[in-house]
Structure 1
């Protein structure tokens, strides 16, 4: 299927999404490590609009945005498990929830972590938005049913990265009393052997987030 490259950065949850799908499908690829503090000409060439990772290169053609990349991989390679449902309606629903998490939940969560005096209100708003995902995964092992699928990969940031951020900043968003189904899903997801083997080191990621969210206080 030609040359495949992935431009990513260590610890990036968005690049991790793409790597997981590539590994699930057994697709050989070259990983290009990017320094986001000193962006390379390669990254600026292939993603001049957003100037961020991940960027997926297939036979020299560049694709940006993790969810778009995953859908491209799904449509291009038939080998390995499918991460999107077979039925058009189910696919549309999966795309909806993945987009909902990225465009609605993540900004609200970030606001809760960074808000000053309005932090408690921002926290409540974020939890209310996450309740829709909590209802969606109720009674399921994964969002994709018995196997990891598109929505699970999309919400993976909430399963691992967001937990570390919450601990660093002292604002816990996903709790058993407010979001019991999401908590159960997180436990299933992060302990799933394939996922667990490929998660970035927690201690290192903690230090990265301390530098980002706490700045000089982390030194």
Structure 2
């Protein structure tokens, strides 16, 4: 296999967006090389591959870069359509999945605003985060606790694109942010179905093997928070 044919992923161990792509590649059984980026000093190659946003993750396949985690997920599904499939086959179900992926991309940053802010701005972000969780909880109760009790995931019996999208927002990173900031937004009593989904999701071997430890994430993001808001 030539170097241009090797699948490469530019990312970072603590990034939930990199984790999304790691999960998808491993679920599909696709061999790849992981290239760790130094986020404060991004490589020239990364800046060349993603000159618009200058962010990770970037997947390089056949020498061609693909940017944005959920765009990469769709590329993986289209390029390697073998099972497990990440997107529904039915056009309507596929459209619904894309709608909720877009919801995750639009609303997910609210928890990061809780992390990055103080005062009124933080309070606003808290409310937006709780509202986002309520919407996902409603969807979770329909998808997972509906007619088919065997469904553990948004994709049914197996992980799909929505599980990956929401996993990069909620699993592990939410707890870390809550602990650092000193708030509790993701309450089990308020979001029982979503907490049950998290439990099942974290037990999947591919997820478990590619999920940073809570301790390491806590140390990493505490340092970031100190740089953002030195008085905390």
Fold match by TM threshold 0.5? yes
Q: TM-score, normalised by structure 1?
A: 0.92
Please state if 1:19 is matched with 2:38. Answer: no
For 2:73, the equivalent position in structure 1 comes to: 70
What are the within-5 Å matches in structure 2 for residues 85-104 of structure 1? 85-104=88-107
For 2:177, the equivalent position in structure 1 comes to: 165
For 1:113, the equivalent position in structure 2 comes to: 115
Please give the alpha-carbon distance, in whole angstroms, between the structure 1 residues aligned to 2:23 and 2:125.
31
Of residues 23, 40, 45, the one that matches 1:37 is 40
Q: CA deviation at 1:177?
A: 2.3
Contact 2:57 2:67 in 1 (8 A): yes
Q: How many residue pairs end up in the alignment?
A: 217
Q: TM-score, normalised by structure 2?
A: 0.87
Q: CA deviation at 1:187?
A: 1.4
Q: CA deviation at 1:4?
A: 1.3
Q: CA deviation at 1:217?
A: 6.4
Please give the alpha-carbon distance, in whole angstroms, between the structure 2 residues aligned to 1:129 and 1:79.
32
For 2:136, the equivalent position in structure 1 comes to: 133
Q: CA deviation at 1:209?
A: 0.8
List runs of 5+ in structure 2 lacking aligned partners.
Answer: 146-150
Of residues 180, 184, 187, the one that matches 2:192 is 180
Which sits farther off after the overlay, 131-140 or 188-197?
188-197
Give per-residue Cα distances to partners, 1:58-87, cap 9 Å, x unaligned: 111111001001101100113331111111
Of residues 206, 212, 215, the one that matches 1:194 is 206
> Once superposed, what is the RMSD of the aligned Cα atoms?
1.8
Please give the alpha-carbon distance, in whole angstroms, between the structure 1 residues aligned to 2:117 and 2:9.
34
Q: CA deviation at 1:121?
A: 4.5
